[in-house]
Structure 1
Amino acid sequence: MTIEPQFFEARDGVQLAWREMGPATGPETDDARPLILLHGLFSSAEVNWIKFGTAARIAEAGFRVIMPDLRVHGSSEAPHEPENYPPDVLVHDLQDLIAHLGLGDFDLGGFSLGARTSVRAVVAGMTPRRLILGGMGLAGLAGWQRRGQFFKRVIAEYETAKRGDDTWLSIQFMKTMKIDRVAAALLLDSFTDTSPDMLAALTMPVLLVCGEQDQDNGSAEDLAAALPDARLVTIPGTHMSSVTEPAMGEAIVAFVTA
C-alpha cells in the first residue's frame, strides 16, 4: 500500500512529510485518537509502519495513525547546511508537526531512532498519554556515542565496504533507501544522550517491544527496570526484522486499547 505524503514547514523552513492512516479527520471522527509513530534510522514511515501492515492494524483498532518522515529520510528534505541540524533537531520537528496538526491529547511511539527521539521529546517536556519504544534498550539511550560511531563508519565506508564487513548490511539499506550521506552525517551529530536520571520524566505508561534476538541498542530488560511504569513485550526477530513482524502491530494495539 502506498499513501501519498502531506507536507509542513519546520521552524527552519525545511519541508517535512507525514502520512496518515485511519479515520478521516473532521468533526465526525474527533473520537479517533491520534498515535504518532516515528521510524528508525535510514528508514521511512512507509517501510517501518505501512509496508508490513503495522499501521493498518492500529488504524483498524480505531486510531488515527500519524507517521512523519524524519528530516533526511523518505519524502522529507535533506539540507546540507549545518545550521539545519542543532542538537535534538528531530524533537523540534516533532514539536512542529504536533503544532501544525493542532494535537493536544495523543500517544507517541517509535522504533530505534524513532524510540530515542520519542524519549528525547518527553525529556524536553512533551506529554503523550502513552509511550511506545520499539527496538530500544538502556544503552541505546545513554550510550549513543558508541552506536553513533558505527553509523559514521557506515557513511565513511559507503563506497569501500565488502560483503561480510560489519557495515555492509547498513550500507545496502542506505543505498536502497537513497539516503543523502552528507545530510545523514550532519543529522548524526545532532543526537544527544539520555542519561538514566533523565528517565524520571517518563511517568506515563510505556510499552517496550523488542525482538528476541535484538541487542543492537542494549538491554530492553534494563530499560524496563529503569522506568516507573513499563511493560516489556518480546517478539520474534532481530533488530532489522522485528519491525516487519505482525507481532509488532499486535503488541502496540494491545497496549493502546488496554
Structure 2
Amino acid sequence: MGEFVSGGVPIAYDVEGEGRPILLIHGFSATAHDNWVRTGWVQALTRARFKVITYDLRGHGRSGKLHDPAGYGHAKHAGDALALLDHLGIAEADLMGFSMGAGIAMRLAAEHGSRFGLVVLAGVGGRALEPASSFGTKTADALEAADPDTIEDRTAKAFRLYAENLGQDLKSIAACARAPREGSAADLVPLIRNRTLVIAGARDDLAGDPNTLAALMANARAEIIPGTDHMFALPNPMFKGAVMDFLTGYS
C-alpha cells in the first residue's frame, strides 16, 4: 500500500506480484479493491506472473477528495495514471480499464501508446461513440439526493446505492460525474495502435456492442460474454477467462 501526490491530489495505490507490469483502472464510483481484489483479478494476474498495479481514482476510495467538477475528467485521470507509472519507475506496462476506467485507458493508449503493451477495454462498446448525454447529470443528482428512495432513474439509483455501500464520499463522486466530457471517443479510438481487446457482456446496455468500437482500431478484436450485464461483468468467470487468455497468449 502506498500513496503519492499527482497534481496536488493524494493518490492511493497498491502493487502486488512480480513479473510483467499491468496497470488496472477501476470504474466510476468503484474502488480498486472492489473492482480488482474482491473479484479475484489481482489474485489471477499475480498467479500468471504479472506485477499488478492498482490505484483509487481521484475522488474515490482512499485517494484525495475533490468537490469541484473541474478537478476531474479523463485527461486528469490519465495524468494520474502516467504519474503513478513514473513514480514506480515503470517505463511500459500492459493496461486494463473497466467502464469509466476503460475510457481513461482509451485516452492513455491513444495519446501515450508507447507507454503500454497489451490493452484491455472492458465494459465498453459502441455507446462510447455516442454524443454526451444527460447520464452524468442524472447520476450526480442521484448521488446528491437526500433520500435515495426519491431517485427515479434506475441506473443512477444503482450507482448511488453502490457508492453508498462502499462508503464513498458522495459529493466527490457526484463532482466526478459532473466533469465535462473532453474530446470524442470517435476521435481517440482510431489513434490506438496497441494490440487491444474490447470486451463486454451481451446484456451490458451501458456499454453497447464491443465490435463497433474494436472495428475502429488497427489492431483490436472484440469479445461478447453471454448472459452478463455491466454490474456483474468483472466477477464473471467467462469474462475473466477471455481476458486472461488474451493477456497470457502474448506473453
- What is the aligned partner in structure 2 of residue 119 from structure 1? 106
- What is the aligned partner in structure 2 of residue 27 from structure 1? none
Task: Specify whether residues 209 and 233 from structure 1 end up closer, same or farther in structure 2 by C-alpha distance, changes over 3 A only.
Answer: same
**Would the aligned equivalents of 1:89 and 1:190 in 2 still touch at CA under 8 Å?**
no
TM-score normalised by length of structure 1: 0.86
Task: Specify whether residues 87 and 113 from structure 1 end up closer, same or farther in structure 2 by C-alpha distance, changes over 3 A only.
Answer: closer
- Aligned-pair CA distance for 1:139: 2.1
- What is the aligned partner in structure 1 of residue 244 from structure 2? 253
Task: Specify whether residues 191 and 68 from structure 1 end up closer, same or farther in structure 2 by C-alpha distance, changes over 3 A only.
Answer: farther
SS at structure 2 position matched to 1:226: coil
Aligned CA-pair RMSD: 2.2
**Would the aligned equivalents of 2:27 and 2:101 in 1 still touch at CA under 8 Å?**
yes
Task: Specify whether residues 86 and 62 from structure 1 end up closer, same or farther in structure 2 by C-alpha distance, changes over 3 A only.
Answer: closer
- What is the aligned partner in structure 1 of residue 44 from structure 2? 57
Counterpart Cα distance in 2 of 1:227 and 1:147: 26
Counterpart Cα distance in 2 of 1:34 and 1:233: 23
- Aligned-pair CA distance for 1:228: 1.7
Structure 1: stretches of 5+ with no match in the other structure: 24-31
- Aligned-pair CA distance for 1:240: 0.2
Task: Specify whether residues 82 and 14 from structure 1 end up closer, same or farther in structure 2 by C-alpha distance, changes over 3 A only.
Answer: same
**Aligned ranges for residues 1-258 of structure 1 at < 5 Å?**
5-10=1-6, 12-23=7-18, 32-81=19-68, 84-85=71-72, 88-127=75-114, 128-157=116-145, 159-162=147-150, 165-166=153-154, 167-188=156-177, 189-235=179-225, 236-258=227-249
SS at structure 2 position matched to 1:253: helix
* CA deviation profile, 1:149-181 (whole Å, cap 9, x unmatched): 332232243524348751322211111122223
Structure 2: stretches of 5+ with no match in the other structure: none
Identity %: 27
SS at structure 1 position matched to 2:207: coil
Counterpart Cα distance in 2 of 1:224 and 1:195: 12
TM-score normalised by length of structure 2: 0.88
